[in-house]
Chains A and B, each alone.
Chain A
Amino acid sequence: MVEEIGTTTDGDIIINVGPQHPATHGVLHLVITINGETIKKVEPHLGFIHRSIEKMCESLSYRQFIYVTSRMDYLSSHINNHACALCVEKGLQIEVPSRAQVIRVLMDELTRIASHELWWGAMAMDLGAFTPFFHAFRERESINDIMEETCGARLTMNYMVPGGVMQDIHPNFQTRVKNFITLYKSKVGEYNELVTGNIIFQNRMKGIGYLSSEDAISFGCTGPTARGSGVSCDTRKLYPYEIYNQLQFDEILETGCDSFARYMVRVREMNQSIRIIEQLIDNIPEGDFQAKTKAVLKLPKGEFYQRVETARGEFGVYIVSEGGTTPYRIKFRSPGFSNLSALDHIARGSKLGDLVAMMGTLDLVIPDIDR
């Protein structure tokens, strides 16, 4: 038993990192027991940004509840919306037009790149290098501009609706995306020069935060966090949705199991997303962008589950319907929550400075964890 402030009986110091701390990227509270610089225990305290989104969804209709999910993992809002739309479509057995499917996948992959860009900048900032943050934002900004033009928003898009997408893509969309791909390809070398190849960076990342494949599975880690430990878990490959089974892309696996492996998975994943976008951007089929649906959606009585791959891992939507206009119960499976649970395990025995780096490689988004 320990006090909130002070020292343990062994003479170890307890420090509170957060809820307001530059390293936690949000309102996460970590109670850390340290001996000198060495970490003995990390206890995450959650709930500072809990908005009871799942409960709120129970009073919203099947069209409305999608918008709330943009506020969970705000960096992959498209993908969250996508999962909800897919789940509702599954219940109503709506056939989505192929144009809408392609647009959805394009948006998902752009979101994934934008999310990884932000993570890359923030990761470097956690290690004390400020400059990469601005370089990452330069590229992310052009994705945001694309989103703004087509969806009307830059962060909480609310673009996916049951049956397709809200409106057709902007006439500039294809040119802009192609410009972005050119820009990205010209700048990605800079990323590796500035951060990946840096000797200090490699020394800070290699061999720390060891998460074995078994532990990754038992903690329920998904996404790049688990793939850095060599666990194949890409939902796009294992449980393909939309048109992912027709696309050529690789599931990135690294076997290093350390922070550097998790870092490399995300950096290499951005290239795969670019590959997917390149396959689709010239082949957007003509047709409707939205299927004809009824004004009021009523899911049949039953349980529906849909999983998708967000930038952080596997995101699941579980809907229990009693046949009414609102869901009876909704549960979201958020990737961040499970990934955070591995933090204590990987941080024990390492130095305080590395804790921040490890949190960076888990890519935590706090509103996603707390909901």
Chain B
Amino acid sequence: MLSFSTISKSIDSWLRATFSDTWTMVIEMLIAGICVISLFAILGLILVLMERKVSAWMQIRLGPNRVGPKGMFQSLADTIKLLVKEGLTPDGADKFLFNLAPILAIIVAMLLMAPIAFAKDFQLWNMNIGVLYVSAVSSMMVISILMAGWASNNKYSLMGAMRSGAQIVSYELSAGLSILVVVVLSGSLNLNEIIQSQADGWWIFKGHIPVIIAFIIFIIAVTAETNRAPFDLAEAESELTAGFHTEYSGMKFALFFLAEYVNVFIVCAIGATLFFGGWMPFHIGNWQGFNHVMDFIPSSIWFFGKTFFLIFLIMWFRWTFPRLRIDQLLNLEWKYLLPISMFNLLLVTAIAILGWYF
């Protein structure tokens, strides 16, 4: 069967047969890098178009429908426009930091791609601390936003960056705690082992109500972490014009834009991996026949299907809710989400020790 894992394995064995071990490694790294960059570009194009179509559908309008069939090439045309636009650096800006910030944002998003399992046995780096790595690297995102806001020499940018700093640092906590719920249940930090632990049912079904609570908190926290409405205070169009990227134009703006969408994809992929079993098909306990039928659907379709469902959920939030105020945002985290997720983690630990899950 033609699957991602057989393709990658055949390339690997061919390279090993042709070149020495060192060269094989170098070439494989290059291929992986190119794959990540092209995945980036494709994801950016697809997610922007998806967002525009979803928002159009919710706002009783058509959305892009002129460039290509059903507006499919609209985001491609936008990319070309952004590429040829002049990238301005404002007077009085800290030029080095100003230009570094978008690059840092995109590097962080790229690094986060490493431990994600896109299909069965198809993963860039199967590391044993995958979950820890994801939460550690994703918190670096705030540095690029703070950098952009500070270096722009613009008060709106600065305020957006400070809001974003307060927001991401706070919501990191409940995101981390809700991830820990699944780690406690599966007993591993390795994303692959977490997926394997869901072979007889996804954690969202196996783990009773505490895991559902953890999932809800996770979705709220990652929406805040990726700076999307109703937590888009860092951009807050009606208050701060465009927040931290007010002064950015052309490709530098596009990098921020791309990083935002790829981050949305990554957090949804992590959510799908932890709570919905990643590429693991829908299995029910020991119903062998049913599980076997489900296995016929390729694992990559399961993974992308779940991820895009979560992305749709996050887009749905964005086009429905009004924005929170900064003090309400912090109240929500420190007074409600954090205590709830701490208690929830305690509960799940008890459940895990006593074995009260399926």
Q: Is A31 an interface residue (CB 8 A)?
A: no
Q: Is A131 an interface residue (CB 8 A)?
A: yes
- A127, A128, A131 pick with most chain B CB within 10 angstroms: A128
Q: Is B151 an interface residue (CB 8 A)?
A: no
Q: Is A129 an interface residue (CB 8 A)?
A: yes
Q: Is A135 an interface residue (CB 8 A)?
A: yes
Docked complex: A119-140 residues within 8 A CB-CB of B: 124-131, 133-135, 138
Across-interface contacts of A320 in B (CB, < 8 A)? none
Q: Give the B-binding residues of A (Cβ under 8 A).
A: 13, 15, 21-23, 37, 124-131, 133-135, 138, 194-195, 198, 200-201, 203-204, 351-356
Q: Which 4 A-B pairs have the closest CB atoms?
A: A128-B323, A127-B322, A134-B59, A129-B322
B315 CB to nearest A CB, Å: 11
Docked complex: B159-194 residues within 8 A CB-CB of A: 159, 163
- From the candidates B155, B229, B327, name the one contacting A15 in the complex (CB within 8 A): B155
Contact A352 B323 (CB under 8 A): no
B126 CB to nearest A CB, Å: 41
Contact A200 B239 (CB under 8 A): no
B299-329 CB mask vs A (1 if < 8 Å, else 0) is: 0000000000000000000011111111110
Chain B: number of interface residues, binned into ranges: 20 to 34
CA distance A13 to B327 in the complex (A): 19
Contact B60 A135 (CB under 8 A): yes
Contact B327 A204 (CB under 8 A): no
Q: Known: A129-B321, A130-B55. Is A22-B241 also a contact (CB below 8 A)? A: yes
Please name 21 pairs of A and B residues whose Cβ atoms are closer than 8 Å in the assembled complex, sorted by A: A15-B156, A22-B237, A22-B238, A23-B239, A125-B238, A127-B323, A128-B236, A128-B321, A128-B323, A129-B229, A129-B322, A131-B58, A134-B61, A138-B60, A198-B322, A203-B325, A351-B325, A351-B326, A351-B327, A352-B239, A353-B323
Q: Is B230 an interface residue (CB 8 A)?
A: yes
Contact B239 A353 (CB under 8 A): yes
Contact A201 B327 (CB under 8 A): no
- From the candidates B229, B233, B241, B322, name the one contacting A124 in the complex (CB within 8 A): B322
Contact A129 B323 (CB under 8 A): yes
Contact A201 B322 (CB under 8 A): yes
CA distance A355 to B230 in the complex (A): 18
CA distance A201 to B55 in the complex (A): 20
CA distance A13 to B306 in the complex (A): 46
A303 CB to nearest B CB, Å: 43
- From the candidates B61, B155, B229, name the one contacting A13 in the complex (CB within 8 A): B155
Contact A200 B156 (CB under 8 A): no
